Amino acid sequence: MSLVFEAVSKSFGGEPVLRELDLTVGTGQLMTVLGPSGGGKTTMLRIAAGLESPTSGVVHLDGKPVRLGDSSVAFQDTPLYPHLSVLDNVLFPLRLKAARGKNSRYRTDRERRAAASDALEMMHIPDLGPRRINQLSGGQRQRVGIARALVRDVGLYLFDEPLAHLDQALARDIREDLRAVQREKGLTMVYVTHQVEEAFALGDTVTILNDGRLEQIGPPQELWQRPATRFVAGFLGGHSMNFVPGEDGIVRGFRPENCLLQDFAGVRTDRGNESVLRFNGTVVGSSFLGEQTLVVVDAGSGMRPLRALLPSVRFGEPVDPPAIGEKACVLVDGVNVHEFDAATGQRVLAADSRGGAIAKPQ
């Protein structure tokens, strides 16, 4: 089923938390929601679940106003029942629905047990059914929580950071399984996360919420290649973007990954064309990060020091980064430069739409 937010706003005690949200999650699509703490992600999810009403605007699920019970919700801290077995935990929502006499596609307890076993199978824990919750590892508990959310036969599945407490490798495995189930069954899903990598890896579309505002919604590649606002550009990426204000009222942003150092590690020095930005400065910092080395260059003129990520190994040879105090010239190809209006923060013109030729800042 498709989920549509139309001009949805929410305030608590007069304080706006969501501001005029318009967005659509298509049937069978997975939308991830990303943004800084307090940006309104959980509030948005609670409104989609019918747990909270908007102050203004409407939310529709397949064309009808959304109601409590239309969706299956798993929050980070949704507890499992410790006195029940894993299988009974997953069965719980199905039995509850049956006990309330609500219509369900599972009419007998046998059918319900089969559905719960299928859900455990989907999350790759078919053998854990008889175990007690306190006999499980953290990762297994998260899998049970997700299985319990997936077992319900509803039109919308909502997840609020279900993997937040797990180490990265384990979280990656579980989310790949969740994504496989979502794709295979064509489930409509909204998944809130703090992590850019998780949002990108899971989402057909990614929504960025900041201070209750929808900064951008689109496929991950589009957000990465064409961030709509300076906020989005700075928010995405493991290392934040460099921003250089120009006297023309435009701020130019480029990622540390896209910076090269002239005369260094095989970089050609004859690229003196207009499509390349150059900044002469002095190395003020250098940190080995494993695959890459972060070099910080102070290019003066009151701008913040620039961060460049260099490969730590090139053509099989370890690379010695320039030492602190050495002169360095940072180069950035025009196609990797994003331009934003200094006053509004909105993207003004994609450098790539001009064939990579951009003006140098002053």
Ligand X SMILES: Nc1ncnc2c1ncn2[C@@H]1O[C@H](COP(=O)(O)OP(=O)(O)OP(=O)(O)O)[C@@H](O)[C@H]1O
Residues near ligand X (CB under 6 A):
12, 17, 35, 37-43
Q: Which is nearer to ligand X, 232 or 261 (CB)?
A: 232
Do the Cβ atoms of 33 and 192 come closer than 8 Å? Answer: yes
Q: Which is nearer to ligand X, 214 or 332 (CB)?
A: 214
Q: Which is nearer to ligand X, 53 or 287 (CB)?
A: 53
Q: Which is nearer to ligand X, 194 or 314 (CB)?
A: 194
The 3-state secondary structure of 159-197 reads EECCCCCCCHHHHHHHHHHHHHHHHHHCCCEEEEECCHH
Would you call 361 helix, strand, or coil by DSSP? Answer: coil
Q: Which is nearer to ligand X, 43 or 205 (CB)?
A: 43
Q: Which is nearer to ligand X, 40 or 227 (CB)?
A: 40
Alpha helices in the chain (DSSP H): 41-48, 86-99, 109-122, 138-150, 168-185, 196-202, 220-225, 230-235
β partners of residue 251: 245, 340
Q: CA 311 to CA 315: how far, in whole Å?
A: 10
Measured from the CB of residue 15, what is the shortest distance to ligand X in angstroms?
A: 7
Locate 202 and state its tokens: 């899971």
Measured from the CB of residue 170, what is the shortest distance to ligand X in angstroms?
A: 21
Q: Are strands 189-193 and 156-160 parallel, antiparallel or unpaired?
A: parallel
Measured from the CB of residue 53, what is the shortest distance to ligand X in angstroms?
A: 12
Measured from the CB of residue 46, what is the shortest distance to ligand X in angstroms?
A: 8
Measured from the CB of residue 278, what is the shortest distance to ligand X in angstroms?
A: 39
Closest C-alpha to 156, from 191, 122, 124, 113: 191
Measured from the CB of residue 32, what is the shortest distance to ligand X in angstroms?
A: 13
**Amino acid identity for residue 227 in this structure:** P
Contacts of residue 113, defined as CB under 8 A and 6 or more positions apart, other chains included, come to 87, 91
Measured from the CB of residue 206, what is the shortest distance to ligand X in angstroms?
A: 14
Measured from the CB of residue 157, what is the shortest distance to ligand X in angstroms?
A: 18
Contacts of residue 145, defined as CB under 8 A and 6 or more positions apart, other chains included, come to 74, 78, 80, 162
β partners of residue 323: none
Phi and psi based region of residue 355 (left: phi greater than 0; alpha: psi -120 to 50; beta: remaining): left
Q: CA 129 to CA 115: how far, in whole Å?
A: 12
Measured from the CB of residue 49, what is the shortest distance to ligand X in angstroms?
A: 13
Q: Which is nearer to ligand X, 33 or 115 (CB)?
A: 33
Q: Which is nearer to ligand X, 48 or 299 (CB)?
A: 48
Q: Which is nearer to ligand X, 10 or 143 (CB)?
A: 10
